[in-house]
Chain A
Amino acid sequence: MAEEVILLDFWPSPFGMRAKIALREKGVDFDLREEDLSNKSPLLLQTNPVHKKIPVLIHNGKPVCESLIIVQYIDETWGPESPLLPSDPHERAHARFWADYVDKKISLGRVVRAPTEEAQEAAKEENIQCLKMLEGELGDKAYFGGERFGYVDVSLIPIHSWFYALETLANFNIGEECPKLVAWAKRCMQRESVAKSLPDPHKVYNFMLELRKKLQAQ
């Protein structure tokens, strides 16, 4: 079946990275389209009129929005032999819970965008507490899902591309606070789908530096 898969993305977005990882895990060919968020394309505005945000997955002309909804869609549409979510309903609920936790609680952007040093420290502290919680949930497992890379891993691993920027710009050394999580991240980075989908940490650093400059100028 001739298939058209387009992903509207913005390269530093952890949400976009989730979608890219999922597509690559399933071996789906897709047309990656970079958006300029200060000048959103008509296609983006048309396919996500409600939130006007990336990522948007467009499959044969039909759009899917919100990164975790996109990842679930990808899981249900392609590669049933390599599922991202487990098959047992309770384990699925468990995975959904922790991906939802990442969405609700992890906000590294707040650390970078913090207008004062005080706000930055508060944001760091909150994120550290939540990352430690995630570390506790990971425990001694290779991945959040156990032996297999899965849904929760996909939802969280994008933060790895921000580690260097956070350390350098905000003195936020995740390695010191959460060594198990860093080891897990390195393990995930060995997967081609992840390595290909996460941007160069130095590029992210430069982007964050520019963003900070712009915010401070305002």
Chain B
Amino acid sequence: MAGKVILLDFWPSMFGMRCRIALALKGIQYEYKEEDLRNKSDLLLQMNPIHKKIPVLVHDGKPVCESLIILHYIDETWPDKCPLLPSDPYQRAQARFWADYVDKKFYDLGRKVWTTKGEEQEMGKKELIGSIKLLEGELGDKPFFGGEKLGFVDIALVPFTTWFHAYEVCGSFSIEAQCPKLMAWTKRCLEIECVSKSLADPHKVCDFVLQLKKALGIE
């Protein structure tokens, strides 16, 4: 499909990372534009006037917003290489369900862990581990959520693992110790170049989160 592709993004964003992985898997050439979220570009405000958020995929001048919607768009526009979603409607519904589960749970629970203290933080930690264990159950003995190959749910989830180190530091706990299966899956994903080159460095993310905490006045 001809036409210029631009990704408006912010380097630590899990949602942006999802799009980077998908574009890499499909071998799509694109221009990466880093946004300063405290000083959003005219392009971002023009392309996503409703939510004013990244990521935004701009293809041939037309915007697509919301990361999972962007993944669907990428899959449907460049269908020949590396399908992200299965072809069977039931399998597709299952993939959508679990990606939606990641969306509903991980961002808010993670946020609870790095922005709160005491009892609220303890609850956040417990619920986060609980959610990860539920996903481990869904993974089962498969190498990836998509089966033999990386799929929609893998792409939706793996970016969150770049924030685990930050959560662990802020919450003084070990996700790895409690969730070895997910760690093994993460390592497997990182062996795929399209994934590893699209993900932010967890140590950089941790530094970012700690700086953000200071800036927001959170201890």
Contact = CB atoms under 8 A, between A and B. Distances in A.
B93 interface: yes
B176 to A, nearest CB: 24
Interface stretch (B62-70, B147-155, B161-169, B194-202): B62-70
A66 B101 CA distance: 10
B72 interface: yes
A66 B65 contact: no
Contacts of A100: 66, 69
A62 B97 CA distance: 13
A70 B66 CA distance: 19
Contact of B90 (A59, A90, A92): A59
Given A72-B96, A90-B64, A64 B69 contact: no
Contacts of A50: 101, 134
Per DSSP, chain A at the interface is helix
B77 interface: yes
A96 B92 contact: no
Contacts, number: 52
A12 B93 CA distance: 24
B41 to A, nearest CB: 20
B73 interface: yes
A59 B92 CA distance: 14
B89 interface: yes
A55 to B, nearest CB: 13
Interface of B: 50, 59, 62, 64-66, 69-70, 72-73, 76-77, 89-90, 92-93, 96-97, 100-101, 134
Interface of A: 50, 59, 62, 64-66, 69-70, 72-73, 76-77, 89-90, 92-93, 96-97, 100-101, 133
